[in-house]
Structure 1
Amino acid sequence: MTGSHLLHQLHLILDSDPFIDEVGFVHPSQFAAISDSSISMKSDDATDMAFWSRDHKLGISTDVLHTLYTDAKHAFMSSLDQYRKLIDLHATNLGLDGDNISNYSSSLATVEGELMKHSRVLLLLSCDFGTAWNCRKEVVVKKHETNLYLDELRFSCLVLSYAPKSDRAWSHRRWVIKMIASKCTVLQDVLKNESELAKKIAEKSKMNYRAWNHRCWLVSYMPANQVIDELVKYRDWAGLHVADNSCFHYRTRLMTRTLEESWRKQDSKNSPEHTAEVYELWKEELAWCEILIKRYIGRESLWLYRRFLSLCWIKHFAARMGGTHIDVFMDNELQLFRSCTTIPDNVFEDYQSQAMFAATYMMWLIKQMDEARGVEAGEKVGEELEVVLNKVCPHKAFLWDLARTKNGTLVGE
């Protein structure tokens, strides 16, 4: 089969099923096992061994990738050259009027269609072909139709099905969302779908920083009620993925957004009620984080997340809520420290790491408090802290002396 024939057949398959949501590359030996269920072009046995499509899934034989890519790239560059010439012709305005304008518009629409078709195939074969992504942007932005933007979201989702860490595909989605940001009725649904998509891809592709980074970026477009919904809806999911620091970085971004909303409404009449709501949200998150720390031993991501929660609580709620609340908070953190520094004779759990994280967290927390409370907390827990540090991480024991020192004087002296 020639490359042009393969390209034509792939265009037919993609056009016949616009809802294809997953693409994969299949070794030729696997086509024999799935040929009976294939709905490819049955009149051509060679085509049957090149493409497979069923239930909105598309398989492409690895045998034809080089030939198909070469021809797809050639067809794309040829269409791009025609497109540039037509654009230049319009820019020079060489007597285009009447029938000439009609012919020009017709020719431009045809070339744009070819450009979108060939770029579609090219990007399915090479997801980081930047010129193809940029051409799609150029064509779509001129029409500025919501349906075309939604089509771009569907197409980039198809690319992500086989390349979940493609920077170009994620960047293209962000561009699309920016374009439709003014259409509020569409945007909110898009944001919900985007968050769900990023979650699914993060589940399939472990440690996918790009997916989580995209999800964090979405937060700036979310309304306040959706931010709260995200925190509540995915709390259980986060509790099952405590080793994934990106998951808690996302929650950090959501929690920060709630503070931003609180600051924005400080001058409004609803400010006191809103502040109380955010305060309760922070208490719930701290309590939930404590449960996870005690349940999953030695997980650094949980301790880092608790540092963020504690620091924001000290800076934004402690002064406002009064000294009693600060004392209750510190007593609770001391109890958490003591409960996590017990090291039983158990080889199946990393209790030493848990004790080290608890000790370094407590040193950090004392440093964040004002001088009076820092001295008080240091006196309460100083000896215990020093014992734990010498036992689990003697190389870090000197940090306690540094934490107790302010302006060259030991706290408490």
Structure 2
Amino acid sequence: MSEEFDSKGMAMDLLHQLEDILESDALIDELGFIHPSQFSVLNEESGVSTNLSDEAIHQSTNSLPSSEGCSKQENLYFWNRDHKLGISTRAIVPLYRAAKHAFMTTLNQYRKCGKQSDKVVSCLPASASCDHLESILLRHSRSLLLLSCDFMTAWNCRKLVVSLKKQVSMFVDELLLSELVLSHSPKSEQAWNHRRWVIKSISTNCSNFKEILGKESELVEKIAERSKMNYRAWNHRCWLISYMTTGQVLDELKKSRSWAALHVADNCVFHYRQRLLQKIMDDRSGVEETASYGYGADISQALKDELDWNQTLIKRYVGREALWLHRRFLSTCWISNFLIDSGDGKEKIGMYHDFGTFIQNELSLLHSSTAFTDDDFADFQAQASYSASYMLWLKVQVPKPLQNEFLEKIRDVDLKTLLDKLCPERSSLFNYFIS
């Protein structure tokens, strides 16, 4: 029993050390869990001598139970320098247990305090006690969430306390906390949900809301660079579009282009660009603003630029399915928005001035995508397969009055032979598409 008591006491000491570190350095922006043997390496890389460990390294006064022969370095549990925090893997379990116990104990006291305040009207001591418990709750829940990012009760507790205070600075602190959580758990659904709750809460009364949106978009891009195919991060960025002005949407369209060109296999970034373009299509009132951002006199120019850029990427990066899926979206937008008037179904002059020019451009892309000499190169085979499937798909999207013209042009291309060779499982669809 005495050993168990001592273990709990030492774990609580570690928790107090962690919470003191977090409060002393409010600018910590990265968290990691490291093996005890790596502390000396971190010191060497950062130029910290062992004599200066009290400045950058925090050592517990009562070390955790360890086997005999453990070196002194293994008793170090926290490393904090240049706003980076490292926690020893040996301390995770006792820290989590101590943080959970402290949080749940304080939460129960806070609930009792709230019930007591409801019964006793104008009870200042009770109110003061609740305020004190709220600060302790925020302190313990922060430590708990850094150790267990999906602890839903802790997130909800913070929402409750912050929403009662209604202070913008506290909402900003929540963004900093969730960003710190995402630094080591970039796919934490609860952390991303918490950020959306914060942004929605301050959207109407924050003077620098536009700046916050810009930083959010940059955060997603930074996390996506480290965590590939992070659907949760990109879903958050798509959600931000609903709060953006037309000017911000166009800025995002330009800024995300370079990143997309370097990550052509990541369908998430192209889905994000599709949402941006869809926002422009839905907001026809932004035509004049579009012109001022260098996208031409109307929205159709922005779509044409995207089509031309997509074609460049397809030719440069062979066999990338995400690029062909993006082209399907772009072609659908052009046909539905500029080829056909949704009101009376009449033809309109689109970005390529006429339908024949548009189809000729797509056929030219098909020829360049199927003109390969090495049959054994899988990327070229995939490119030819995607291009042939794209042309069959395009036939379904073309309005009925123009399908005869489309079929006349496509009959010159032996798609059936190409499909039989590259993807026989799809060749059976050929007769259906051309019938």
Give distance in 2, aligned partners of 1:295 and 1:192: 30
- Counterpart of 2:57, as a letter, is S
Is 1:53 the counterpart of 2:70? The answer is no
Is 1:298 the counterpart of 2:315? The answer is no
- Counterpart of 2:258, as a letter, is D
Equivalent position of 1:33 in the other structure: 41
- Deviates most, 169-178 or 339-348: 339-348
Deviation per CA, 1:142-192, whole angstroms, max 9, x where unpaired? 111111111100000000011000000000000000001103532211110
Give distance in 1, aligned partners of 2:205 and 2:298: 29
Equivalent position of 2:25 in the other structure: 17
Question: What secondary structure, in the 3-state scheme, does the structure 1 residue paired with 2:340 have?
Answer: helix
Equivalent position of 1:336 in the other structure: 365
8 A Cα contact 1:26 1:61, kept in partner:
yes
Question: What secondary structure, in the 3-state scheme, does the structure 2 residue paired with 1:50 have?
Answer: strand
After superposition, the CA RMSD in angstroms is: 2.3
8 A Cα contact 2:29 2:84, kept in partner:
yes
Mapping 1:28-107, distance limit 5 Å: 28-34=36-42, 36=50, 38=53, 39-41=56-58, 44=61, 46=63, 49-92=76-119, 94=120, 96-97=121-122, 100-101=123-124, 103-107=125-129
The normalised TM-score by structure 1 is 0.91
- Counterpart of 1:308, as a letter, is F
Equivalent position of 1:202 in the other structure: 224
Question: What secondary structure, in the 3-state scheme, does the structure 1 residue paired with 2:204 have?
Answer: coil
8 A Cα contact 2:116 2:126, kept in partner:
no
Give distance in 2, aligned partners of 1:113 and 1:22: 23
Question: What secondary structure, in the 3-state scheme, does the structure 2 residue paired with 1:234 have?
Answer: helix
Give distance in 2, aligned partners of 1:309 and 1:335: 17
- Deviates most, 363-372 or 42-51: 42-51
Q: Give the C-alpha shift of residue 22 in structure 1.
A: 0.7
Question: What secondary structure, in the 3-state scheme, does the structure 1 residue paired with 2:241 have?
Answer: helix
Equivalent position of 1:393 in the other structure: 423
Q: Which residue among 374, 380, 385 is the counterpart of 1:351?
A: 380
Deviation per CA, 1:111-151, whole angstroms, max 9, x where unpaired? 00000000000001100000000000000001111111111
8 A Cα contact 1:180 1:186, kept in partner:
no
- Counterpart of 1:108, as a letter, is C
Question: What secondary structure, in the 3-state scheme, does the structure 1 residue paired with 2:354 have?
Answer: helix
Q: How many residues align?
A: 397
Equivalent position of 2:71 in the other structure: none
The normalised TM-score by structure 2 is 0.86
**Structure 1: tracts of 5 or more residues without a match:** 406-413
Question: What secondary structure, in the 3-state scheme, does the structure 2 residue paired with 1:207 have?
Answer: coil
Q: Give the C-alpha shift of residue 275 in structure 1.
A: 10
8 A Cα contact 2:324 2:390, kept in partner:
yes
Give distance in 2, aligned partners of 1:199 and 1:230: 11
Q: Give the C-alpha shift of residue 316 in structure 1.
A: 0.6
- CA 1:43–1:80 in 2, change beyond 3 Å: closer, same or farther? closer
Is 1:4 the counterpart of 2:12? The answer is yes
- CA 1:281–1:72 in 2, change beyond 3 Å: closer, same or farther? same
Q: Which residue among 263, 274, 281 is the counterpart of 1:241?
A: 263
Q: Which residue among 373, 386, 392 is the counterpart of 1:363?
A: 392
Equivalent position of 2:180 in the other structure: 158
Equivalent position of 2:344 in the other structure: none
**Structure 2: tracts of 5 or more residues without a match:** 1-6, 44-49, 65-74, 342-347
Equivalent position of 1:327 in the other structure: 356
Give distance in 1, aligned partners of 2:62 and 2:243: 50
